[in-house]
Structure 1
């Protein structure tokens, strides 16, 4: 084959891989955005109650992310390697076993996390946070406990479907739940006048609706016939193997996530904690190919994803920068909050690009890090 022919073939393979990656990544991107929008809806609605509600929910959201949700997201990263490579190797029975091991492990982790949330106000007051904010943050966190346990079950199921490229049910379920979450949150916060507690109840309830939809699909869909999640001795034994991959994954995810969330915590120690906290708050293709024994295809997938990540990062970063004067208005009517958000816009735009690259590199590292 001539040099021109080889180049044309390479570009053809690259174009084909872009289509394959996009078919998987686009639905999962919408799913991720829908999940983030659920939290954003909560913050937006409580932000229009008063500064105390917004700042307390900001602190509570930050700490529950740091101690709970980020931990679950990090730990479940080990499942991406196990399920993805099992599917690529056509060892379908192992996928359900791995998912069950992950669910058991994450439920165990939830117990000490819940205890820490119950005494959240004590910790906040101890480090010098405003007492009123600390008490309201504790109330909000306690009503988020059901969402934590729901996440411990649904996150492994999402990875189970994702490893099989079954992204459509995740897309439909997440969008349906988001559409339900908005009026549900409005009803609890404003109609029932439950304030920030109502927002937490709505968030937990929406997460469990999402869980029920995913469980229903996994249990009855013919696409998951060979990968059903069943409790067995193998699943219990597999907990040890799951933690072996999950702990390094959790460390990588949590360190990045904590570095962002700690800003919210520190903002509560500033002279005007309600204002400062409000402003800061606003502001799997590879594993399949490795499992199938195709390292060259995995390399191509990585290059393709990096290319798409850079393009996506630039577009989103430019959008945020262009809208920086309007973003704060969605969360608060306070002119100081809006102006502070606008001032932070350029820094947020820059962080979007670097964070996108970090996320892609982390996913690649997770898949290659298994040693298979």
Structure 2
């Protein structure tokens, strides 16, 4: 009986062949979603980067405190909320494919309410950030300024809790243009606003944090108004009711492993920067590793966009009971990732003698970055492949496997190898980077094995069964 949930024409062997026409059409669909998503993610990421750059012109103290505050905010708040919101890519993505449109709006409200609740304990943590930094041995003056910056970022935390579910709401319906337009408008307003609050008021560095908060809330309001009043959202717009509490168990069922999967990888790279501070020349090592990390973080927006598109397409097709179409979407997304990473890594390698100047004018730093460039190119390749595979995992709903993969790859392999190479073999920062990339390689291999062995018919049956069982409850 379960097999009847999957459309019969998908079971025919002739239809299971990947035809060029279907493959090229799927490449087009993924590109149409991925391209704007890259711009959306980049513009949202730039809000914090712009604030750091503008605050940096106030002096070294303000730059270091703002950078530390934003880094800790990402580790202790933004990464967790972004990971939890990713659970909607499974729930709502498959519901959209099954044409359960009201469930999409209701689960979006459930996610917003749930993430706001999560923000409450996070707020307590952020309010005590100065004391935490002092306890960790950080400079008291930097800790004080970082604590103030984090305090003024608190409104952004709650805005982010609403923004991320809204982004997933539009993403799973392939409604990218509203996000693209609002993100562009937000960034355009943010730059002069941040400059004015930092230099034309007495707020100084905390003006940058306030600008991020205002800009993020502006984005939330614009997306919320579009959802409320646009006819394009009519079929997925559900009334706010007590039914949103009924979906909390299903949301947390996917949200928690999604968050752990994201945070385990994010935290491993932050740990890399902390370890670099224990090396013989910490200023140089930390600077160079920060340059490398900022480079791959910026470039990661491309595979993240492709992964978001892959997640959307895979979830939609599984929800619709089309396993063959989901498989074609995976092949198309991985092909696009290979093309993208070939171009980007080759370009980065060709510019290895120059791209260090974007971050520093110190010859010692630039020469070290040039030496690290081939390793950074390898990182770009691995990130592109695993970024898309992680999106596929979210579309299928097996985030729990991603948790085991990331835990084993980074914390049982990558970080121990990094510590051995850096502090026992004494390779320095290069050893730290090689070690963490060993973890990334293991992660990519394991995700590839899992992806290549997916039984798409069973995944489609599982998705449809869960959707229709929930509908009967």
TM-score calculated relative to the size of structure 1: 0.90
2:327 is matched with which residue? 299
Change in 2 beyond 3 A, CA 1:169/1:142: same
State the partner residue of 1:361: 389
Name the SS for the 1:225 alignment partner.
Answer: helix
Conserved 8 A contact 2:348-2:377 = yes
The answer for unaligned runs of 5 or more in structure 2 is: 1-13, 295-311, 399-461, 464-473
- Provide the rounded CA distance (Å) in 1 between the counterparts of 2:113 and 2:173: 21
Contact kept, 8 Å, 1:321 with 1:345, in 2: the verdict is yes
Mapping of 1:206-217 within 5 angstroms? 206-217=215-226
CA 1:57–1:265: 2 relative to 1, 3 Å: farther
Q: Provide the rounded CA distance (Å) in 1 between the counterparts of 2:211 and 2:282.
A: 26
Cα distance per residue 1:249-302 (max 9 Å; x no partner): 111111111112233444566678777655544431111101100011011101
Task: Quote the offset at 1:102 in angstroms.
Answer: 0.3
Does structure 2 conserve the Cα–Cα contact (< 8 Å) formed by 1:45 and 1:331? no
Could you tell me whether the CA contact under 8 Å between 1:62 and 1:265 is conserved in 2?
A: no
The aligned residue for residue 247 of structure 2 is: 238
Pairing 1:299-338 to 2, within 5 Å after superposition: 299-323=327-351, 327=355, 329-331=357-359
Q: Equivalents in 1 of 2:35, 2:70: separation in Å?
A: 27
Of residues 9-18 and 149-158 in structure 1, the stretch that sits farther from structure 2 once superposed is: 9-18
Partner of 2:179: 170
Alpha-carbon distance, 1:148 to partner: 0.8
Q: Tell me, yes or no, if structure 1 residue 286 matches structure 2 residue 286.
A: no
Aligned counterparts of 1:27 and 1:250: Cα–Cα separation in 2 = 24
Task: Please give the alpha-carbon distance, in whole angstroms, between the structure 1 residues aligned to 2:357 and 2:196.
Answer: 21
1:204 paired with 2:213, answer yes
Cα drift, residue 125 of structure 1: 2.0
Per the alignment, do residues 229 and 130 of structure 1 end up closer, same or farther by CA in structure 2, a change over 3 Å counting? Answer: farther
TM-score, length basis structure 2:
0.72
Q: Distance between the aligned counterparts of 1:197 and 1:259, measured in 2?
A: 28
Helix, strand or coil: the match of 1:263?
A: helix
The answer to whether the 8 A contact 1:48-1:331 is kept is: no
Higher RCO (Cα < 8 Å, 6 or more apart): 1
Larger Rg: 2
Q: 5+ unaligned residues in a row in structure 1: which ranges?
A: none
Tell me the number of residue pairs that the alignment of Structure 1 and Structure 2 aligns.
368
Write the distance in 1 (CA, Å) between the matches of 2:153 and 2:111: 21
Structure 1 residue 134, shift from structure 2 partner: 1.7
Structure 2 CA distance for aligned equivalents of residues 335 and 253 of structure 1: 35
Match of 2:456 in 1: none
Residues 16, 324 of structure 2: 8 Å contact kept: no
Deviation at 1:335, TM superposition (A): 6.0
Look up the SS of the partner of 1:67 in the other structure.
Answer: helix
Determine the structure 2 residue equivalent to 1:51.
Answer: 60
What's the Cα RMSD here?
A: 2.5
Please state how far the C-alpha of 1:38 moved relative to its aligned partner.
1.8
